Amino acid sequence: MFFLAGPTGCGKTSLALRLAKHCQGEIVNADAFQVYQGIDTLVAMPTEQERRAVPHHLYDIIPTGQDFDVAQYAQLVSPVVTDILARGKLPIITGGSGLYIKALSHGLSPTPPADPKLREKCEQLALDELITWLSIIDPEAAATINLKNRRYITRAIEITLLSGRPSSALKKDWQQNPEPSYHGIVITRDREQLYSRINQRTLLMFEQGVVEQVEQLGSSSNTAQKAIGLREIRQFIKGELSREETIQSIQQSTRRFAKRQTTWFRREKGMQNLCIEPKDDPLSIIKQILSIFPHLNS
């Protein structure tokens, strides 16, 4: 198993395709939004031609009206990876969702599954009430997580109540486990170059008909609607934003997301950073990867 990770817009898709062809590999999705159906352009899904060239797994499989999380991903991805290995192929785990990648590289932390009744109760509370509740049952979590994010607060409350232990304690125990052995590359680029690629990709997205795609989309779940650009495009369709405002908002949100992804992947000790320069062509990049991991040549 080999990981090819990095922030959005860094060029993972094309590199994974070339690496898979060289190593007789198969590509396994590790992007939280590329699992969804009907938003191919919005999430820069590998094209049908790319997916025909090399086997791709766990792309375009979940209806947008359905919630999907890392625990469900872990259940789906494990048999896929096992099957690829059993056929003598190399699973190349490709994506920018750090938790999805960590589900394979480290395994999931031992936390209880979601509880619909408890979730419903939390939904009825105001944000400040949730913060107060968490501060009482797990003050350490309340002091460390993003208190502007209802989902994080709700999940911490849920874990604490259902497990009988503070969510912060469970997280600490999991983090103190020995670092597993795994191999992979984190693709990086100069910040200005990365941001330029993101800006250009957003423009291309509109040229490729992303507005029409969103217009045809049905309802979206709580997780699907977090796909960057979905909210802004729906505002544009309603006339609440101009086309230029929509594009600029998506570009800014995507750049911020890429910055958070870069910060996350800096902490992944089992992966090597590979900075791509504008002069680097795909073949030279693959050669660099193979020089770092010569066993991929076998």
* 49 lies in the same domain as 157: no
pTM given for the model: 0.81
Write down how long the chain is. Answer: 298
User: pLDDT at position 180, please?
Assistant: 58
Q: Is residue 80 left, alpha or beta, with left meaning phi > 0 and alpha meaning psi from -120 to 50?
A: alpha
Q: Nearest Cα to 236, choosing from 1, 57, 105, 42?
A: 42
* 102 lies in the same domain as 246: yes
pLDDT over 90 at 269, yes or no = no
- For the chain, the average pLDDT equals 90
* 26 lies in the same domain as 76: yes
Q: Which domain range does residue 204 map to?
A: 2-106+182-297
- Give the angle subtended at the CA of 5 by the CAs of 2 and 6, to the nearest 5°: 160
Q: Name the pairing type of β-strands 90-95 and 2-5.
A: parallel
Residue 166 lies in a domain: yes
Residue 111 lies in a domain: no
pLDDT over 70 at 34, yes or no = yes
- Secondary element (H or E) of residue 295: none
* 71 lies in the same domain as 186: yes
Q: Single out the residue in 157, 175, 193 at which a domain terminates.
A: 175
User: pLDDT at position 219, please?
Assistant: 86
* 101 lies in the same domain as 151: no
User: pLDDT at position 8, please?
Assistant: 94
pLDDT over 70 at 31, yes or no = yes
Mean pLDDT score, 57-85: 93
Task: Give tens-digit pLDDT for 101-158.
Answer: 988 887 766 678 778 889 889 999 999 999 999 999 999 999 988 888 888 899 899 9
User: pLDDT at position 181, please?
Assistant: 61
Six-digit token pair at 60?
């375009």
Mean pLDDT score, 175-183: 63
Residue 47 lies in a domain: yes
Strand ranges of the sheet holding 56-57, from the earlier edge strand across to the other edge = 56-57, 25-29, 90-95, 2-5, 184-189, 271-276
Measured CA to CA, the distance from residue 280 to residue 268 in angstroms comes to 24
* 240 lies in the same domain as 93: yes
User: pLDDT at position 109, please?
Assistant: 67
User: pLDDT at position 241, please?
Assistant: 96
Q: Which CATH number fits the domain that encloses residue 62?
A: 3.40.50.300
Q: Helix (H, G, I), strand (E, B), or coil: what is residue 173?
A: helix
Percent over 70 (pLDDT), the chain: 96
Contact indicator for 16, 23 with CB cutoff of 8 Å: no
Q: How many domains does the chain have?
A: 2
* 82 lies in the same domain as 206: yes
* 46 lies in the same domain as 151: no
Contact indicator for 187, 194 with CB cutoff of 8 Å: no
Residue 285 lies in a domain: yes
Six-digit token pair at 254?
């995507």
CB neighbours of residue 104 within 10 Å: 22
- Judged on CB neighbours under 10 Å (0-12, 13-18, 19+), 207 is exposed
pLDDT over 70 at 177, yes or no = no
Least confident of 203-207, 223-227, 235-239, 247-251: 223-227
Measured CA to CA, the distance from residue 139 to residue 129 in angstroms comes to 14
Give DSSP secondary structure letters for 211-244. Answer: HHHHHT-----TTGGGSTTHHHHHHHHTTSS-HH
* 83 lies in the same domain as 227: yes
Q: Which CATH number fits the domain that encloses residue 138?
A: 1.10.20.140
* 15 lies in the same domain as 89: yes
Q: Single out the residue in 175, 198, 216 at which a domain terminates.
A: 175
Percent over 90 (pLDDT), the chain: 66
User: pLDDT at position 187, please?
Assistant: 93
Which residues lie closer than 8 Å to 240 by C-beta, 6 or more apart? Answer: none
Which of 81 and 270 is assigned the larger pLDDT? 81
pLDDT over 80 at 179, yes or no = no
* 62 lies in the same domain as 197: yes
Least confident of 122-126, 166-170, 191-195: 166-170
Mean pLDDT score, 251-257: 96
Q: Single out the residue in 175, 199, 219 at which a domain terminates.
A: 175
User: pLDDT at position 104, please?
Assistant: 87
User: pLDDT at position 148, please?
Assistant: 86
Residue 221 lies in a domain: yes
Residue 247 lies in a domain: yes
* 139 lies in the same domain as 221: no
User: pLDDT at position 295, please?
Assistant: 84
